[in-house]
Amino acid sequence: ALQQPLKFGADLVVHSATKYLDGQGRALGGAVVGSSKLIAEIFAVVRTCGPSMSPFNAWIFLKGLETLRLRMEAHSKSALALALWLDAHPAVDTVFYNGLPSHRGHELAKKQQRAFGGIVSFVVKGERQGAWS
């Protein structure tokens, strides 16, 4: 895992399993992680509302976990390369990626995370008009 929020005091963590855990987009799913006591408190809602996954989807996600570490390392490496490229691009105003030293959360991310992940966003100079020109 890139980060372990429960170790930093989070009571509940919600994961989207669809993109990262599976790695191939074969199944929709997620996971709710927390203390046994807290999970027991929300179990009735989870059970009644029907967001429980099928055994087959659970198996798909378990298989995806076998390569998750390698895939997350690749996501992080590619995202950093893209963020650095965007940061140097003359048409880009701001890059949001916590792997960049210029990001306001960079120091905290360095302390809490094993890597910086695969999510990058940016603002084009000139906003919408600049993006289309």
**DSSP H helical segments within the chain, as ranges?**
36-49, 55-88, 106-112, 127-132
HSE at residue 48, side-chain half, CA atoms within 13 A, is 5
Q: pLDDT, tens digit, for every residue of 64-105?
A: 999 999 999 999 999 999 999 999 999 999 999 999 999 999
SS3 content of the chain, % helix, strand, coil (to 5): 50, 15, 35
Write down the CATH number for the domain with range 5-132.
3.90.1150
pTM of the entire structure? 0.80
Residue 115 has pLDDT above 90, yes or no: yes
> What are the residue ranges spanned by the domains of the chain?
5-132
Average pLDDT, the chain: 89
HSE at residue 70, side-chain half, CA atoms within 13 A, is 6
HSE at residue 72, side-chain half, CA atoms within 13 A, is 17
Q: pLDDT, tens digit, for every residue of 6-48?
A: 999 999 998 888 878 888 888 888 888 898 888 888 777 777 7
- Asked if 128 contacts 93 with a C-beta cutoff of 8 angstroms, the reply is no
- Asked if 120 contacts 100 with a C-beta cutoff of 8 angstroms, the reply is no
At residue 84, the pLDDT reads: 98
Confidence label for 51 from pLDDT (cuts 50, 70 and 90): low
